[in-house]
Chains A and B, each alone.
Chain A
């Protein structure tokens, strides 16, 4: 199979305007991935599926990943005039990197038996712009998996034919696989609570004692 750089170059040539970026994976698995811009994701996906050398017709795995907002502290030295004297001042800047949600597609080829080529789609943020284009029209196998990501992570897949909750029930509000998901306080008596379970159980003990 071609290297990821070659795939990137050919995809960018085939889909005008597409911006791809290689995401390096430092682990021994060395499964690097391609980050695709949302506007051209469907076209790039179709290229990967139909290209004669790639023929990635099998979307094996679609998974969501939640990356929280991160705050990076940076110390910046600057020179400023204070009382007519130039002084060097150190300032700590807090740079807030907005988090995002990611949909990761592991693609393989059944006729050519190669893979994986990993595609990543990113949402703009985790709140109001949690949208990526759906790749279900390209690979039907993504249908239930994208529904699952919508259900558990809250990514809206534009163009998905049937985007409903799949594992949680219809009236459910939150997205349980998000990192900041707070479990509901559904207390149940347990004989040996400890650690986190005990912390959650404590308020209920007090209530029972009062009653």
Chain B
């Protein structure tokens, strides 16, 4: 019969329409600003810089090695190295970025900067409500806007952050054990020779940081 299939099709539409009142399966939309979907852990949007405990300037993991700047496909990262050094999480003096800018109007959220970073310093954020009225300045994120604490990283990517922390802690423990062994060896040597100073010197106090770039 002509039109039979059309009637069958209409039945499908009607089933979906009426079904949307009773079944969540059929009702697939949500009222966005009021209702929100939970994001999955892997979600990535734009990069941010991780800092450990306390002060965002002292704790920044980034050592301004500029690998991400070089590898970034659309070249949206801009880094200027510092003149002085400050200790990193192990205690080794390292450079830090005097300027670290990410132009989010250019960034394409590919995550390559995260993959190439040897210091676990740059990670992907999940924040997506970033609209701004200022086309250039508003989308250019500076170091102070990019720096976010490790606790925030744990909040958005708990599994990944846990792995990173475990890895960093293991590295630190390894370095500390080595330093301790070295110190003991030196102490033994010192005991053999009458030398007054023990060599297990902690790295010097952090050099005073340059003023935050405007």
Contact = CB atoms under 8 A, between A and B. Distances in A.
Nearest to A196: B75
Interface of A is mostly: loop
A197 B76 CA distance: 11
Interface residues of B, number: 13
B137 A191 contact: yes
Contacts of B69: 194
B88 interface: no
A194 B75 contact: yes
B75 A191 contact: no
B137 to A, nearest CB: 7
Interface of B is mostly: mixed
Interface string A152-192: 00000000000000000000000000000000000001111
B136 interface: yes
A183 to B, nearest CB: 15
Contacts of B136: 189, 191
Contacts of B140: 191-192
Interface of A: 189-192, 194-195, 197
Interface of B: 69, 75-78, 101, 103, 105-106, 136-137, 139-140
Nearest 10 interchain pairs by C-beta? A192-B78, A191-B140, A192-B103, A191-B136, A192-B101, A191-B103, A194-B78, A192-B140, A195-B75, A189-B136
